[in-house]
Amino acid sequence: RPATNRLLAGLPLVDYQRLALHLSEIKVDRNQVIQRAGEPIRHVYFPNDGLFSVTAGLPDGAMIEAATIGAGGMLGVEAFFGEDASAPGHTIVEVPGTLARLDVVAFRHEIASGGALHRLVRRYVPLFIGQTIHVSACNALHNVQQRLARWLLLAIDRLDDGSGLHVSHEFLAVILGARRPTISVAAAALQRAGMTT
């Protein structure tokens, strides 16, 4: 079937058909951990739908989101840079969906060929790094209400299938590095301002 992940959909048909022999589709649930910090990357994933959070661990054991990934991206991009890549943080399912999973050996083989997938991922990498830098700056400089507004805009942008966004205040507190009551106050302020429903 045709790819719904935009990176895979950007491949020429012959490249996609060759890669499709190695792809398997998996369904994932909210809060499921796809990759764990420090573990070797054994698969890369191309989201078809849903929303995924790459988180950074803090010294006190808390987590904070470093990147939000939807159907326009991939999980495990670190494998693009070397054979012994490991996950820099936990990747968690924010909104349930499906992923096209590709064994990292098959991914590295396809990347080494220098073909269309290599070119697409090479263009994606600076965007991913840029987003991570932007999120880091936002986490350092902005208050919780501003960080929540940014996250909501990113999430809605990445959920362009009209499926809607349903996440708990507890989950938002984890990924935004805030306490749950603080998230509730920030969400109420955004609602009063007419920015959320």
Whole-prediction pTM value?
0.82
pLDDT in tens, 80-99: 998 889 998 899 998 899 99
Query: Do 66 and 135 touch, CB atoms closer than 8 A?
Result: yes
Per-residue tens of pLDDT for the chain, all 197 residues: 567 899 999 999 999 999 999 999 999 998 899 999 999 999 999 999 988 989 887 777 777 888 889 999 999 999 999 888 999 889 999 889 999 999 999 999 999 999 999 999 999 999 989 888 877 787 777 888 887 787 777 777 767 655 566 777 877 777 777 787 878 787 777 777 776 65
With 0-12 CB in 10 A as exposed, 13-18 as middle and 19+ as buried, what is 121? buried
- pLDDT score at 58: 74
For residue 81 the two structure tokens come to 């840079």
Rounded distance between C-alpha atoms, residue 139 and residue 143, angstroms: 8
